[in-house]
Amino acid sequence: MPVTRGAWPGERMCPEQKPDDQTHGRKTNISAKALVEDKTGRFLIIRRSMASKNNRGMWDLPGGKLDPGESPVQALRRELAEELGLAVSVLGLAGTARSDLPDRVVSYEIYRCAVGARAPKVVLSDEHTEYRWIPRDELPGYEMCAQFVDFLRAYVVSNAHSEPDRQDQADRKQGGGHGL
């Protein structure tokens, strides 16, 4: 499947969607999802509406499908603006997930993102009915879309003590902080 470079070194643009041997003749779609973190270290999750085609009423990560010629980062920024009214800083790729559906395979690229405010105002589109800002360790505890459960469990465990508190980072940048 031919792939074009995106906005970041090594980032891919949305390729032509053609069946391949690994998908058993099914079309592959690429979707970009976000782990959106506020400045206090809480993460944004959204509940899909009951009108959703898939995963009705389930909690989900923000994001969506790539448009042709769009990179995952471009799609993520567009989707978060359209669905939630949010502008984010994309920090990097956190991991991947996959969903095998009868007619297609969806490959998810999940990015770490940050917003500059504590629980900024979220404006939901018709696709979602509710949102919550929750601590990292609670991510796997919600009734999440099945394709993200294993990723979220692994993310919580692998990042439980790896990153300093975001407020502490901000304080250090401003010359203050909790250090000696």
Q: What backbone torsions phi and psi does residue 63 show, to the nearest 5 degrees?
A: 135, -170
- Please say whether the beta carbons of 61 and 45 come within 8 A: yes
pLDDT band at 118; cut points 50, 70, 90: low
Q: For residue range 155-172, what is the model confidence (pLDDT) as tens digits?
A: 988 876 544 444 444 433
Domains located in the chain, CATH noted: 21-173 (3.90.79.10)
**Does the pTM exceed 0.85?**
no
Q: Could you tell me which residues come within 8 angstroms of residue 147 by beta carbon, excluding any fewer than 6 positions away?
A: 97, 98, 99, 106, 108
Q: For residue range 52-63, what is the model confidence (pLDDT) as tens digits?
A: 777 777 899 999
CA atoms within 13 A on the CB side of 151: 23
Q: How far is CA 129 from the centre of its chain?
A: 18
DSSP 148: H
Angle at 96 between CA 105 and CA 10, to 5 degrees: 105
Q: For residue range 73-90, what is the model confidence (pLDDT) as tens digits?
A: 999 999 999 989 999 999
